[in-house]
Structure 1
Amino acid sequence: MKQLYIKQKVFSLSGKFTVKDQQEKDVYFVEGSFMKIPKTFSIMNTKRDEVALITKKVFSWLPKFFVEVNGREVLTIKKEFSFFKARYTIDAAGIEVHGNWWDMDFQVVQHGQVVGKVSKEWFTWGDSYRVQILNEEMEAIIIAIVVAIDCVKADQAAASSAATT
């Protein structure tokens, strides 16, 4: 089992942050596009090779995010129409997310087997997540799922604050 940590910088306009291992060494670099359409997040390994890309669909009535890992689309996160509480679904072949993914406390399941666990770290400055990788072949996908869900949450928070002003 491998344990990784994602800590976003609260005041980073560009959306740059790193994924670290237990020894606090950088394992992945995440860079968001700033003032660019479509909004994207690129996840790169230590050699700066892109291993995953998250893209927000432009010109969509409801928000939709596409997640590519190693050049192929592995999942889509989309907002469902609802009157009261925001509801999102994750579409992926053989991959499911069980638990409360809105609060970042969930398991990633592939074909009925748990391949990763995600939990939010409390009492930290900014959003920090602990990611347990149980199947190392799924590592890039699990990191991409965490970043994509966090991107969806940030997008929802921005939309909510814009609606109240």
Structure 2
Amino acid sequence: MKEFIIKQKMLRMNGQFNVKDEQGNDVYEVEGSFLKIPKTYTIQDAEANEVARITKKAFSFLPTFHLEVEGQETVTIQKEFSFLKPRYTIDAPGIEVLGTWWEMSFDVLKDGEVAGTVDKKWFQWGDSYQVQIYNEDLEKLIIALVIAIDCVKSDQSAASAASF
């Protein structure tokens, strides 16, 4: 099992932050595009190789996010039409997200087996998540999925704030 901490810093305009291992070493760097269409986040390993990319589909009726891991599109997150509570679907072959992912407390399952767990750490400056990876073959996918879900949440929060 591997454990990671994803901690976003508040007030960073470009959305840049690091993913650290349990010893506090930087393992991945995440950088968001600033004022660019489509909005993208890239995830790079310690050698600056791009391992994943999250892209918000531009000009769509309902927000849609595409997640690529090592050049292969693996996950699509799309908002469903709903009136009261925001609802999203996560489409990925063999991958399920169970739990309250809107509150960032969930399990990621691959073919019915728990491959990783995510828990939001409360009372932190900025968003901070503890990620435990049980299936190390899915490490990059799970890290990217956590960041993608957080992007969806941030996008929804920004849209809600803009509507007032």
Shorter-chain TM-score range: over 0.9
Question: Match for 2:93: what amino acid?
Answer: A
1:47, CA displacement in angstroms?
0.3
Q: Which ranges in structure 2 are unaligned for 5 or more consecutive residues?
A: none
For these two proteins, the number of residue pairs brought into alignment is: 164
**1:158: which partner in 2?**
158
Q: Secondary structure at the match of 1:96?
A: strand
1:12, CA displacement in angstroms?
0.3
The 1-side partners of 2:159 and 2:119 are apart by 25
TM norm structure 1: 0.99
**2:84: which partner in 1?**
84
**1:36: which partner in 2?**
36
Question: Match for 2:80: what amino acid?
Answer: E
Question: Match for 1:113: what amino acid?
Answer: E
**2:58: which partner in 1?**
58
The 1-side partners of 2:124 and 2:84 are apart by 30
The 2-side partners of 1:31 and 1:84 are apart by 32
The 2-side partners of 1:157 and 1:55 are apart by 17
Equivalence map 1:62-73=2 (5 Å): 62-73=62-73
The 1-side partners of 2:160 and 2:105 are apart by 22
Question: Match for 1:32: what amino acid?
Answer: G
The 2-side partners of 1:133 and 1:75 are apart by 18
1:123, CA displacement in angstroms?
1.0
The 2-side partners of 1:111 and 1:84 are apart by 32
Equivalence map 1:2-13=2 (5 Å): 2-13=2-13
TM norm structure 2: 0.99
The 1-side partners of 2:137 and 2:45 are apart by 14
**C-alpha RMSD of the superposition:** 0.4
1:122, CA displacement in angstroms?
0.8
- 1:125-152 CA deviation, whole Å, 9 max, x = no partner? 0000000000111000000100000000
- 1:46-76 CA deviation, whole Å, 9 max, x = no partner? 0010000000000100000000000000010
The 1-side partners of 2:38 and 2:9 are apart by 22
